[in-house]
Amino acid sequence: MPSDVALNIAKVRERIRRACALAGRDENEVLLLAVGKTHGPAAIRAAAAAGVVDIGENYVQEALAKIDALTDTPLIWHFIGPLQSNKTRPVAERFAWVHGVDRLKIAERLAQQRPPSLPPLNLCLQVNIDGEASKSGVEPGAVAALIEPIVALPNLRLRGLMAIPEPANSAASFARLRALFDDLRTRWPQLDTLSMGMSADLEAAVAAGATIVRIGTDIFGARPPA
């Protein structure tokens, strides 16, 4: 399996390179975030050996076990799942990024619980870009009002936006997220991150300006059904 992971990473990197070339973008503008949920420490270690540095995890307990098993690697951990307020402390203490913030209360707790001895915790706000009732995320029209109080919080660095669009029309959704991002950047020029694109649609996301693509299946293989 480790050699599969290395081969898969090479293929994904090639897809990113090609998508960047098509879009006239520098490939170094796009960070590959390998999403490890349901896969054990050995798979993550194989990704690290193949040069991946950034790992995305969705479940707090599962992630903490892997972080503990891999302290000898230079991995950077991103929390990308839904975050309940009673689980913010270990995330504030052990992760470098949180991609799914969609409420002020969560950001406030992360700010309060982030050890000041660590670099600021990087945050992306999750946007419900297709207005789906079943999905978490801030409505596009409410993002600016959420940014305002968050940028004033200590121990955090607001980096940008994240979304998980409906698969059927993700290209249009990515374009709308990009337009919202450009609009917000006129007011908050420090925003530099668009976290969008997964295994099935990374090319469309890169074309629309993604700076982080979150890839699970095409690196680690299929996951057991939830």
Ligand X SMILES: *Cc1c(COP(=O)(O)O)cnc(C)c1O
Positions that interact with ligand X (CB under 6 A): 35, 37, 58, 80, 164, 198-200, 214-218
Nearest-approach distance from CB 154 to ligand X, in angstroms: 27
Q: Which is nearer to ligand X, 155 or 221 (CB)?
A: 221
Q: Which is nearer to ligand X, 6 or 151 (CB)?
A: 6
Nearest-approach distance from CB 64 to ligand X, in angstroms: 17
Q: Which is nearer to ligand X, 160 or 216 (CB)?
A: 216
Residue nearest to ligand X (CB): 216
Q: Which is nearer to ligand X, 25 or 37 (CB)?
A: 37
Tell me the CB-side half-sphere exposure of residue 162, using CA atoms within 13 A.
28
Asked if 93 contacts 189 with a C-beta cutoff of 8 angstroms, the reply is no
C-alpha 100/C-alpha 161 separation (Å) is 9
Which distant-in-sequence residues (6+ apart) come within 8 Å of 141 by Cβ? none
Q: If you search the block for the tokens 């006239």, which residue do you land on? A: 24
Q: Which amino acid is at 127?
A: V
Consecutive H or E run containing 56: strand 54-57
Torsion of Cα atoms, 15 then 100 then 225 then 94, to 10°: 90
Q: Which is nearer to ligand X, 7 or 200 (CB)?
A: 200
Nearest-approach distance from CB 187 to ligand X, in angstroms: 26
- What burial class does residue 135 get, using C-beta atoms within 10 Å of its C-beta: 0-12 exposed, 13-18 middle, 19+ buried? middle
Structure tokens at 101: 């913030």
Nearest-approach distance from CB 91 to ligand X, in angstroms: 14
Nearest-approach distance from CB 58 to ligand X, in angstroms: 5
Nearest-approach distance from CB 195 to ligand X, in angstroms: 8
Q: Which is nearer to ligand X, 64 or 149 (CB)?
A: 64
C-alpha 23/C-alpha 68 separation (Å) is 39
